[in-house]
């Protein structure tokens, strides 16, 4: 496991730490955590176990289309609890997932062609291009808020766009934005 963090229990760094979970796009001011080592990845590890980061040591956490890959019984609750633990009291957690409600509406649209319906199905269940590209949970605003509350987040709001990275949080299918973008606060 590659790490440049202070480690568990270490004093928080004076320099702000902004963590892009599952990221690939290198951007000044952001560190990337990814399950797969790759150029630009600063930390290799799973979002389900953020023990390489000290309590209240991260200013911002951002993740686009990551948490739908986690099982809802234990993996997703653990991942959200870890984010809540590492985020500073003044920090924020921004994440995006496919919005299951929107995808369901698209899927049952009578005018949708078979090839488009197949593409919507892939957005629901993952592209399945590698062992990590399978979706294990579908999230809507209501379901996501429940998970966030159980993880200890006190406030959340839905946002149109984060404007941070060129990623799937901005994805539109047939002109319809398909992502549920949420900003949560401790």
Q: For 11-42, write each residue's pLDDT tens digit.
A: 445 678 999 999 999 999 999 999 999 999 99
Tokens of 11: 């004093």
Q: What is the CATH number of the domain that holds 176?
A: 3.40.50.150
Range 116-149 burial, b when 16+ CB lie within 10 A, else e: eeebbeebbebeeeeeeeebebbbbeebbbebbe
- Asked whether residue 174 is domain-assigned, the answer is yes
So what's the pLDDT on residue 11? 43
List, run by run, the mean pLDDT of 10-residue segments along the chain (186 residues): 36 76 96 95 97 97 98 98 98 98 97 97 95 95 98 97 96 97 97
Domain presence at residue 117: yes
Query: Domain for residue 9, yes or no?
Result: no
Q: Which of 53, 52, 75 is nearest to 147 (CA)?
A: 75
Query: Would you say residue 5 lies in a domain?
Result: no
User: Is residue 6 domain-resident?
Assistant: no
How many domains would you assign to the chain? 1
CB 135 within 8 A of CB 68: yes
Q: 113: helix, coil or strand?
A: coil
Question: Do the domain assignments include residue 4?
Answer: no
Residue 15 is predicted with a pLDDT of: 79
Containing domain of residue 181, as a range?
18-185
Residue 88 lies in a domain: yes
C-alpha 119/C-alpha 116 separation (Å) is: 5
Predicted TM-score (pTM) of the model is 0.90
Residue 7 domain-assigned (yes or no): no
């Amino acid at each position: 496991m590659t790490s440049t963090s202070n480690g568990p229990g270490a004093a928080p760094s004076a320099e702000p730490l902004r963590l892009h979970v599952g990221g690939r796009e290198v951007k000044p001011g952001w560190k990337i955590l990814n399950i797969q080592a790759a150029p630009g990845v600063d930390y290799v590890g799973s979002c389900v176990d953020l023990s390489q980061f000290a309590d209240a040591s991260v200013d911002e956490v951002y993740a686009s289309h990551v948490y739908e890959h986690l099982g809802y019984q234990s993996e997703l609750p653990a991942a959200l609890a870890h984010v809540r633990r590492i985020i500073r009291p003044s920090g924020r957690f921004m994440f995006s997932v496919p919005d299951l409600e929107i995808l369901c509406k698209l899927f049952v649209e009578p005018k949708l062609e078979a090839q488009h319906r197949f593409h919507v199905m892939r957005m629901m269940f993952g592209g399945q291009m590698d062992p990590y590209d399978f979706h294990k949970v579908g999230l809507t605003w209501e379901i996501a808020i429940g998970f966030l509350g159980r993880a200890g987040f006190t406030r959340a709001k839905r946002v149109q766009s984060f404007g941070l990275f060129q990623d799937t949080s901005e994805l539109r299918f047939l002109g319809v934005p398909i992502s549920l973008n949420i900003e949560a606060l401790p």
